Amino acid sequence: QARLVQSGGGSVQAGGSLTLSCAVSGYYVIAWFRQSPGTGREGVACIHDGSNKVIYSDSVKGRFTISQDNTKSTNYLHMTDLGPEDTAMYYCAASQWWPGWARFALSESGYDQWGGGTQVTVSS
């Protein structure tokens, strides 16, 4: 079974930036989710590798950028203008392309492969 290997994350002050990485290949829809204690998992960004179509949640639009570098088999989530509300465990997820992928782009049910998570902590 494929495994997604995450790296990056850590602690940063409000207004700072971080980049998360996820080693992934052979999957065409890749997304990032986050989860804070006591809350459900929130989808924040998704990319379709074939078309480079990207989808963002309203909570991160304009601040986060998802990208895929197939030469390195790595997906990136570049996060800027971070605030304490962005503090969470971040997970990458992946699936094969399927016709309904865009409707479920930011939904957990759209993915069958998951990374182990990496913590992001933003202090005010």
- Ranges in the chain, pLDDT < 50: 1
Q: For residue 61, what pLDDT is reported?
A: 98
On whether the CB atoms of residues 44 and 86 are closer than 8 A, the answer is no
Q: For residue 2, what pLDDT is reported?
A: 53
Distance (Å, whole) CA 117 – CA 124: 23
Q: For residue 12, what pLDDT is reported?
A: 98
Residue identified by tokens 């998360």 is 20
* DSSP annotation of 15: T
